[in-house]
């Protein structure tokens, strides 16, 4: 079947993106304390994170249930005690990565090692003198690899698309601390219409745009298959890939060890509608390719995905007729 892009609906209606924002615990003062501890002695910061993760695990029952639901798809059905332990590990690991991100981007610890597993792929994508769309997600620490990307092509502007409530002091504090991204430009998707205009303009100028594509905050969604079940991904990133005629790579930076991160970058692709491929089929192919790239890493590093809300809607995996499958396969072609 051809994938259908669903328009946003009111909260509670079938097909509407579910609310996924979880309130901050500790506020910007708590974040400042974590950053100071981590910059003085990183293991001390990790100890504070472990305590905070325990509190979060106890206080946020919906987040804990969502974590257990996700991890069950990776590890299978476990005992109640083991499910609880896995969920705590999930929250603790993600907290560690958030601390690593803050310490590294604030320039407070230069002993981090960030290397790329697929650097030829990103160099190949940068050689194409057209807009580059970097699709990432709430997996690992995508921002940690940004300084490396800027060094590869310092003359090309890099835009980060990020959802940030301008009235949220915690989010503003985090962004203010990211000194290593001072040269990056920010596009706030809090206003999705204005953000879409900025994204398309940047791609048309041949610039780089990095955005997360695994979470539908609001607006239209497109179905894809992840870990064998249907999910609704935000349509915006994949629509931008097709309409903006951009070179597209999927890039995920995962924690490989203490103070060590690695970046996986997919081969560059273009999704170009043609006489035999509709725009909707090209968008669906882009979403499907992204979901497959994300799934590979979820199976290898499940505790590094910041998924703490009900992600799957319980529907069967998205199916395709032979006709639509052939069209989708032709839509995503290597970048030339």
**Distance from the Cα of residue 29 to its chain's centroid:** 26
Contacts for 259 with CB less than 8 Å, ≥ 6 apart: 42, 100, 109, 111, 112, 113
For the ranges 152-156, 179-183, 196-200, the lowest mean pLDDT is seen at 179-183
pLDDT at 325: 39
Domains, the chain: 111-334 (3.40.1130)
**Exposed / middle / buried, residue 326 (Cβ in 10 Å: 0-12, 13-18, 19+):** middle
Instruction: Count Cβ neighbours within 10 Å for each residue of 225-238 and write b for 16 or more, e otherwise.
Output: bbbeebbbbbbbbb
pLDDT at 4 over 60: no
> Half-sphere exposure of 13 toward its Cβ, with a 13 Å CA cutoff?
7
Residues 48-94 pLDDT 10s: 999 999 999 999 999 999 999 999 999 999 999 999 999 999 999 99
pTM: 0.87
| Long-range Cβ contact pairs of 10-17 (< 8 A, separation 24 or more) | 15/221, 15/232, 17/216, 17/217, 17/218, 17/219, 17/221, 17/232
Q: Residue 165: what pLDDT?
A: 78
What is the pLDDT, as a whole number, of residue 13?
Answer: 44
pLDDT at 108 over 80: yes
- Name the average pLDDT for the chain: 85
What is residue 217's three-state secondary structure? Answer: coil
Longest dimension (CA), the chain: 60
Angstrom distance (rounded) from CA 50 to CA 46: 6
pLDDT of residue 11: 44
Q: Confidence band (pLDDT; 50, 70, 90) for 313?
A: low
């Amino acid at each position: 079947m051809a994938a259908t892009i669903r328009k946003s609906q009111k909260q509670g209606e079938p097909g509407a993106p579910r609310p996924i924002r979880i309130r901050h615990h500790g506020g910007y003062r708590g974040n400042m304390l974590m950053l100071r501890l981590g910059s003085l002695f990183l293991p001390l910061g990790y100890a504070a994170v472990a305590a905070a993760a325990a509190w979060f695990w106890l206080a946020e029952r919906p987040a804990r249930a969502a974590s257990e639901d996700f991890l069950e798809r990776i590890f299978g059905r476990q005992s109640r005690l083991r499910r609880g332990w896995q969920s705590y590990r999930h929250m603790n690991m993600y907290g560690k990565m958030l601390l690593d991100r803050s310490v590294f981007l604030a320039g407070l610890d230069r002993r981090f090692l960030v290397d790329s597993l697929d650097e030829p792929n990103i160099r190949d994508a940068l050689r194409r003198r057209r807009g580059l769309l970097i699709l990432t997600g709430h997996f690992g620490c995508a921002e940690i690899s940004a300084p490396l990307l800027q060094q590869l092509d310092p003359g090309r502007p890099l835009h980060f698309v990020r959802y940030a409530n301008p009235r949220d002091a915690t989010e503003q504090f985090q962004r203010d601390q990211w000194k290593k991204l001072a040269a990056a430009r920010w596009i706030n998707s809090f206003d999705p219409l204005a953000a879409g205009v900025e994204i398309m303009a940047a791609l048309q100028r041949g610039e780089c745009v990095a955005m997360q594509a695994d979470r539908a905050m609001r607006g239209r969604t497109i179905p894809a298959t992840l870990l064998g079940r249907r999910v609704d991904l935000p349509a915006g990133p994949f629509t931008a890939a097709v309409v903006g005629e951009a070179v597209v790579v999927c890039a995920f930076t995962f924690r490989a060890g203490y103070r060590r991160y690695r970046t996986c970058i997919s081969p560059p692709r273009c999704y170009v509608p043609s006489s035999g491929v509709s725009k909707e089929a090209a968008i669906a192919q882009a979403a499907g390719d992204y979901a497959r790239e994300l799934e590979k890493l979820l199976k290898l590093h499940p505790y590094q995905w910041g998924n703490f809300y009900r992600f799957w809607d319980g529907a069967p995996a998205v199916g395709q007729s032979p006709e639509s499958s052939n069209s989708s396969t032709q839509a995503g072609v290597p970048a030339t």
